Amino acid sequence: MKALVVVAHGSRRAASNDEVRELACELAGMLSDTFPIIEVGFLELAEPLIPAALERAIEAGATEISVFPYFLSAGRHVVTDVPEEVKIVQNKYPQLSINMLTHLGAASGFTRFIAETLKA
Amino acid sequence: MKALVVVAHGSRRAASNDEVRELACELAGMLSDTFPIIEVGFLELAEPLIPAALERAIEAGATEISVFPYFLSAGRHVVTDVPEEVKIVQNKYPQLSINMLTHLGAASGFTRFIAETLKA
């Protein structure tokens, strides 16, 4: 069973973390066919942390997890920190299929979407 | 004359800052009718900082500046830090029209865009 784990940085401001949780909730509604399981994980400052989020997906029956870095640019977090957290879980469950998706900022059509937004 | 200033956090990783500059460059091509002037400013860790970016826009002839917070969630940076940096310039040029646009993460259709990306 396929799972999506949306990974965000985490903020000291609770409302900001709730925004991410809300996004994941909306995505769950839109993507239920593709990803029957959707979880959110934070790199720091908010719960659940990334390993706990992946464990939640596994407990829900996930056998294939796609990790979506909800980050705008490929900074240290995307390049190093998130993959390291994911690796903790991969090492614990070697048979589990985990794949890292492209981070949001590198999504195809992203610039076009922003341009349309700014025009409106 | 209208200017757009894309404001990002800034990263220790130069490639990450270059991604933002590249985005602004692409936006300049797409939005030349709406915003003849487009600049990038960083909150920290990269140049130009936000006040310097606004000054650049003013030097280029801007009389009306739209500041676009290129941030995913309304954390402390969006709510407090960016507006404070903008205020420095507004105080220096009281006649200049500066308006803060909605941050990227709150853009209409944003979740739908992400869902389409994850489906593909």
A99 touches chain B (CB under 8 A): no
- Dist. CA A43–CA A111, nearest whole Å: 25
Across the range B40-61, mean pLDDT stands at 98
Closest chain A C-alpha to B80 CA, distance in angstroms: 12
Q: Are B6 and B41 in contact (CB under 8 A)?
A: yes
Strand partners, B40: B6
Q: Do A109 and B104 touch (CB under 8 A)?
A: no
Per-residue pLDDT at A3 exceeds 90: yes
Q: Is the pLDDT at A118 greater than 90, yes or no?
A: yes
Closest Cα in chain A, distance from residue B53 (Å): 18
Q: Could you tell me the pLDDT band of residue B13, with boundaries at 50, 70 and 90?
A: confident
Domain ranges of chain A: 2-119
What is the pLDDT, as a whole number, of residue A12? 87
Distance CA(A38)–CA(B103), nearest Å, equals 25
B93 has a pLDDT exceeding 90: yes
Contact A5, A67 (CB under 8 A): yes
Considering only the beta carbons, identify the residue of B16, B31, B114 that sits closest to A104. B114
H or E segment to which residue B99 belongs: strand B97-100
The tokens for A113 are: 């979407």
Q: Is B77 helix (H, G, I), strand (E, B) or coil?
A: helix
- Please count the other Cβ atoms lying within 10 Å of the Cβ belonging to residue A117: 17
| pLDDT value at A49 more than 90 | yes
Closest-CA residue of chain B to A23: B111
The Cα A50–Cα B55 span in angstroms is 41
Its CATH class, for the domain covering A2-119, is alpha beta
Over residues A29-43, the mean pLDDT reads: 97
